[in-house]
Structure 1
């Protein structure tokens, strides 16, 4: 019977460094930029951010800890078919280059929801999409906070609440201090950590199994390389159409998102903003393929040692798979498990910081815009409000994470369902206004409300009556 691995002191040092560096960057930028500390500088970096840092920042904002844990769990449980999701993701960026970027960058907005105010001239619609969008981001951030918490709990036995509070507070502190420049700078560091962690896991995992050929052969024998299912039934979650078309429309919720719009509007030229989206096609596609393959490597590894962790009773939740797998293959290499856990922390921190900064922008530009205008509020008060908003929304997300800790299924399933259900109506209304000039606010409001009701019905119906993906047999069992 396999035993649970443990962390070394050097692993804790690596984890502590992963959490400390962002704090240091936040303090550095807060001190360095104190003389040009304005609302526009805090939320948009003075609209002078550079392409490469913004590209990496956009990448790690959405490819968070949920994907690092959830995608390998999906492929471990149901097979490599989930990787087809990359087709839809790539197409969403391609379409965004020719539709979202030109319009939003030319408007030079701070909040994406300002578009709806300018296009439809309806305060009610503006408030409606703002509330729906902000609610979506808050819940999504709470889900993201679960990933590192589960990882630490699985790896070290540290109480769940300690993990959530530590990761949440670190993200809140450096975001409130450094603003969007701090978020982007830290994201570059976290992108490097994520790429390094994935590389080490894949190389060591494949080596432990016995090479790429052996890894693929074992996965194929275990049914992890199934044929593509072209069933048009929308209730089949892992069909070709669900993964590609569903992935396309779901990921529109990311490409047309506050964090994305905030970044492309912080780029001085439109050509640079388009480059950010174009580069993310290749970066995100490579990332998804590698992360999905990690689940295949994990299956082949457990098939090799003859001990499925779920059948053995070591793990009870699929979200615990990757932390346990990584600690097993690196149990004789002090520090390596810490790098991977630091990878998960980096993914979580990047999402938390980006979204809370975006929520602060929504608060200033959408929720409080009219009261500020009536009171002729100074820029310094708006800046202080934005910083306090980061703390407020961060605290709400931390509290909500405790309510969501017992979610069934994989984290990635929950995250994608949420983005599709709430993000779809917002994206649809954007394209309605952009592509059909004769539409008015009445049609847009009715469209949002009907789409929300329909999406909620579909999401609940899929949960209760849908065809869940068939879980494949566990890895071969051996008497150890």
Structure 2
């Protein structure tokens, strides 16, 4: 079986090279990112404490934190995959922006207040406070697995892009960008991560705008591009069907998209760690509200890039002509062939794509180090300087591991595809676990454990079923009518999934179409249950909803069967504010508060880990 991940597209030699100006532009981005890390390593507290390394001493301003939230999730996969989505399937995906508002409101007012008031460093510490140590460890390990695989893919995607543009070997790209990322993240901690995210976000915006502006000039204005897209059937916002197997409908994009992004912005360590770096809860909420319009802007820019590419290639499709092998290579192909005559622009575009990777990987490295120190190694006794050193070593180790896995990705074949498809099913169960604790006072340890295991089981079942029974995808019409060197016309691009056939199967990361497409051989039988086939055909946007719902239903049922929390009522500080208020109105039992004792005063705890215990409210001083 041939693995198309190993075969980057071949572009015209005359355009497939960088000029000196391109290399200078690209190098400037890497040098500035490294300089920011070096600056924060030499200023402030010099990253000598875990609190500074992980949460910036809780002094970060909400505007840069808002930009960092955007950069953490707008990876190269989104920058390459979203224009390809628009080119192939039209503008329906644009409506996912409706979920951004819902995600912002829900995360800001139902999730952030609890995590911030508990003064956590790792969000998975909440799972131990609410349930037990085992639930915390499950959440932390699931996050670690998810982020390692995701970061590896995020690194590999732009390596393919730069290989296509310049011919530079993939391993050189991975080492160059990966080592720069490891350097500034390890030295500068979360401060360097956040400020490089701000810089890299600006680079992403600039690169996308350059494509749109130059395309508008070429067609005499963006209005002409829009009109051509209307004629080509790309402008469509009217899919109102409630069938969950419809890939992109208003319901799947808005509702399914809400829960998909909520798992990222509501309870994922990458996001929560940024909220906790703000000096106040109000600033943490403001950061999320800053992120919301930025998400819409970058989504709009990437969709507009897709329309520009359709206007250029709709009647001379490089996919149909064999110039490229995957739709995710369309944007670099466009830049090289149509904008390569402008010195520095290919370098700027490549820098923009790599900026998406740098921001995501650097955020992931810092968060993985925090989770490992806080959740996986909580019983190790470290002095504060030693803990800070261990944190840097962990961040560096995770960065190098992801660089290695990214380089090996091209050799992994089907193993990589299985890992990528499973990634989309981790966020839902974890979202369900946190939601169970925040919204259901009756939920107990047994319910949480059974619920999350059942949810992971169902998610894995769907992932495997989807992998073995891929759903046919039919793209909107494109032709070869105006190709000067071809006289063959094909009117529709169809991704065929017939039985016993080598097919093209597109994999998805949470919320975005992956930048990878691969070939695999599948065999189906007529006896396959139509019900199961339909189940496997459910849109990827509903995966988080399914995973969360399973946790909630199973968790609540098991908790009620096992008598809930009758013997030890849940502390109100562990419930979302609205539930805590309702509970206080309906039950006036003796209150409890949480006290976090100094780590160095407790046995088997490390700096930043925290040790909490329940005490009657009258017997302690509030020190949160």
Alignment TM-score, normalising by the size of structure 1: 0.93
Give the corresponding residue for 2:529. none
Asked if 1 retains the 8 angstrom alpha-carbon contact of 2:148 and 2:402, the reply is yes
Determine if the alignment matches structure 1 residue 351 to structure 2 residue 360: yes
Mapping of 1:127-206 within 5 angstroms?
127-206=137-216
Please tell me whether residue 454 in structure 1 is matched to residue 458 in structure 2: yes
Match in the other structure for 1:69 = 80
Give the match's secondary structure for 2:426: helix
Q: In structure 2, what is the Cα distance between the partners aligned to 1:468 and 1:272?
A: 46
* Alignment partners' CA distance in 1, 2:117 and 2:283: 13
CA distance in 2, matches of 1:223, 1:442: 52
Task: Tell me the number of residue pairs that the alignment of Structure 1 and Structure 2 aligns.
Answer: 471
Confirm or deny that 1:11 pairs with 2:22. Answer: yes
Query: Is 2:387 the counterpart of 1:382?
Result: yes
Cα drift, residue 131 of structure 1: 0.4
- How has the CA–CA distance of structure 1 residues 28 and 35 changed in structure 2, closer, same or farther, with 3 Å as cutoff? closer
Shift of 1:34: 5.1
CA distance in 1, matches of 2:47, 2:345: 40
Per mean C-alpha deviation after superposition, the further-off stretch among 339-348 and 27-36 is 27-36
Asked if the contact 1:236–1:466 (Cα under 8 Å) also holds between the matched residues in 2, the reply is: no
The structural deviation recorded for 1:202 is 1.0
2:350 to 326, 341, 355: 341
TM-score, scaled relative to structure 2: 0.72
- Report the structure, 1 or 2, having the larger strand content: 2
Alpha-carbon deviation of 1:359?
0.3
Q: Which of 68, 71, 78 is residue 89 of structure 2 equivalent to?
A: 78
- For the 8 Å contact 1:80–1:293, the answer to whether it is kept is no
Runs of 5+ consecutive residues of structure 1 not aligned to the other structure = none
Query: How far does residue 219 in structure 1 lie from its aligned partner after superposition?
Result: 1.5
Deviation at 1:414, TM superposition (A): 9.1
Q: Which residue of structure 1 lines up, in the alignment, with residue 69 of structure 2?
A: 58
Distance in 1 of aligned mates of 2:245 and 2:413: 18
Taking structure 1 as reference, are residues 84 and 466 closer, same or farther at Cα in structure 2, changes over 3 Å only? farther
- 1:430 deviates by 0.5
Whether the aligned pair in 1 keeps the contact of 2:425 and 2:459 (CA below 8 Å) is yes
* Deviating more after overlay: 321-330 vs 18-27: 321-330
Q: CA deviation at 1:473?
A: 2.4
Report the CA distance between 1:408 and its aligned residue. 9.7
Q: Does 2:240 correspond to 1:230?
A: yes
1:395 aligns with 2:405: no
SS in 2 for 1:404: helix
Q: Is the 8 A contact 2:95 2:237 kept in 1?
A: no
1:123 aligns with 2:133: yes
User: 1:253 and 2:258 equivalent?
Assistant: no
Q: C-alpha distance in 1, partners of 2:51/2:483?
A: 63
Distance apart, 1:35 and its partner CA: 5.0
| Pairing 1:262–2:273 present | yes
Which structure dedicates a bigger proportion of its chain to helix? 1
**5+ residue gaps, structure 2:** 1-10, 485-624
Q: Which has the higher contact order (CA 8 A, sep 6+)?
A: 1
> For the residues of structure 1 that align with 2:313 and 2:46, how far apart are their CA atoms?
56
**What do the CA deviations read for 1:378-407 (whole angstroms, capped 9, x no partner)?**
011111111111121112212222343489
Contact 2:41 2:47 (8 Å CA) reproduced: no
Which residue number in structure 1 is paired with residue 469 of structure 2? 465
Q: Which moved more, 1:107-116 or 1:283-292?
A: 283-292
Larger Rg: 2
